[in-house]
Amino acid sequence: MSKMKKGESKVKNNTSFRISHPKLPKELIQLEVSDKITSDEFYISSGIISDFSFDNQTAERAVIDQVFFKNVSFQQAVFRRVELTDMRFENCDLSNADFSEAVIHRAEFIKCKIMGLNLSTATLRNVFFDKCTGDYAFFRFIDCKQVRFSECELRYADFQESAFSKVDFYSSDLLLSQMSGTKLEGIDFSNCEIEGMGVRIEDLCGAMVSPIQAVSLSKLMGLIIT
């Protein structure tokens, strides 16, 4: 059997899906962005931004494409409906940022802090979260297709009433997360921590869990294991 390549995720029936990587320029130039930020809107394209702060920044309209953010802070930034295409975030801090209604396509979040990040009602396509810390992140009503969370901390994260298509959680901590109203068919939770996960029994239909997890989830059906 061939080894699974990075960016692929296992789903049911032993098939896999590939997450398209960001299409970044081969040579990234350092971008100076301070003169492009206004209270209303900004557009950034093609380059690298490092060691910069967008903390508490607010923009009514933000479009960013083909940009590599490294060691950049977005704490409590408000970029509702931001459009992010062909992006890489590495060691960035997006804690408590508001990216609700965002459209994110071909993006990678590597070793980022996304605690309390608001992505409610966002649309994600080909997005990869790797080794991110996302406790209390707010993903409610999100539309995800070809999205993978790998080795992420997502305790108390809220994924309620979301649409999942080809979504994968690999070796992630989902302790006390909320999944009610989200169809989880085909998702393998067997290598994740899901103790206390809030979910309806009908949403679990077709999901994959370990025997120990199955015992824990049996209380949803009112079963008593003796």
Q: 59-101 pLDDT, tens per residue?
A: 988 999 999 999 999 999 999 999 999 999 999 999 999 999 9
Asked whether residue 24 is assigned to any structural domain, the reply reads no
For residue 23, is it within any domain?
A: no
Q: Quote the domain boundaries for residue 68.
A: 30-221
Question: Which run of H or E residues covers position 17?
Answer: strand 16-18
The total number of structural domains in the chain stands at: 1
In a 3-state reduction of DSSP, which class is residue 31?
coil
Distance of alpha carbon 101 from alpha carbon 91, whole angstroms = 23
Which pTM value belongs to this model? 0.89
Question: What would the pLDDT profile of 4-42 be if each residue is shown by its tens digit?
Answer: 444 444 433 334 789 999 999 989 999 987 755 666 788
Distance CA 181, CA 195 (A): 18
According to DSSP, the residues that pair with 125 across neighbouring strands are: 105, 145
Establish if 132 belongs to a structural domain: yes
Distance, in Å, from the CA atom of 165 to the CA atom of 149, rounded to the nearest integer, reads: 13
Does 204 map to a domain?
Answer: yes
Residue 216: pLDDT band (50, 70, 90) is confident
Is residue 134 situated within a structural domain? yes
Is residue 22 included in any domain, yes or no? no
**CATH assignment of the domain containing 138:** 2.160.20.80
